[in-house]
């Protein structure tokens, strides 16, 4: 992963943030929660330590929706664009990979593949839920 700083922005660009260094995780999430929040079959996720994420402008436009205490999903109130998802209990912030300009997104795995609705054959590990080090079962699903 790159050790640079990248800018990210919501759909209208009024909320802008930066991410610095390397993400703790870059991969695809297939959970129902991510799919329904984004309205997409797969979420390209990047997890960062909170110290590596800085809101540069438009913080007053960020609204937070907490479906659970585990995920605090943030979007821009001006355009509705999804920006990030704070995970306080894990001390991480998920900045949506597609909004990070110029970021070399290099996924390393699929998580919650047990809930997938689109089958992918890309050779990456596919976890039924999460790897053990992330609090999951660590169970892999074979490609097929």
Please state whether beta strands 110-111 and 25-29 pair in parallel, antiparallel, or not at all (unpaired).
parallel
Q: Is the dihedral of CA 71, 69, 49, 31 positive or negative?
A: negative
Report yes or no: 19 and 56 within 8 Å, Cβ to Cβ. no
Supply the range of the domain harboring residue 100: 5-134
Strand partners, 73: 65, 85
* Three-state DSSP class for residue 39: coil
pLDDT value, residue 3: 56
According to DSSP, residue 52 is labeled G
Is position 140 within any domain?
no
Is position 141 within any domain?
no
Is position 104 within any domain?
yes
* Three-state DSSP class for residue 122: coil
Is position 120 within any domain?
yes
Please work out, in degrees rounded to the nearest 5, the angle formed at the alpha carbon of residue 86 by the alpha carbons of 3 and 66: 165
Q: What are phi and psi of 24, to 5 degrees?
A: -70, -25
Q: Based on the structure, what is the number of domains in the chain? A: 1
Q: Which CATH number fits the domain that encloses residue 40?
A: 2.170.150.70
Is position 38 within any domain?
yes
Is position 144 within any domain?
no
User: What is the model's pTM?
Assistant: 0.91
Rounded distance between C-alpha atoms, residue 76 and residue 74, angstroms: 7
pLDDT value, residue 143: 87
What is the chain's pLDDT, residue by residue, as a tens digit (144 residues)? 445 999 999 999 999 999 999 999 999 999 999 999 999 999 999 999 999 999 999 999 999 999 889 899 999 999 999 999 999 999 999 999 999 999 999 999 999 999 999 999 999 999 999 999 888 999 999 987
């Amino acid at each position: 992963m790159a050790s640079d700083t990248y800018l990210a922005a919501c759909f209208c660009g009024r909320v802008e943030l930066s991410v610095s260094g390397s993400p703790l995780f870059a991969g695809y999430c297939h959970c129902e929660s991510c799919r329904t929040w984004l309205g997409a079959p797969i979420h390209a996720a990047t997890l960062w330590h909170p110290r590596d994420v800085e809101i540069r402008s438009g913080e007053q436009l960020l609204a937070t929706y907490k479906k659970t205490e585990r995920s605090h999903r943030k979007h821009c109130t001006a355009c509705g664009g999804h920006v990030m998802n704070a995970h306080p209990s894990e001390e991480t912030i998920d900045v949506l990979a597609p909004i990070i300009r110029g970021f070399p997104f290099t996924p390393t795995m699929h998580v919650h593949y047990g809930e997938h609705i689109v089958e992918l054959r890309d050779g990456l590990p596919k976890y039924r839920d999460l790897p053990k080090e992330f609090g999951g079962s660590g169970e892999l699903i074979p490609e097929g």
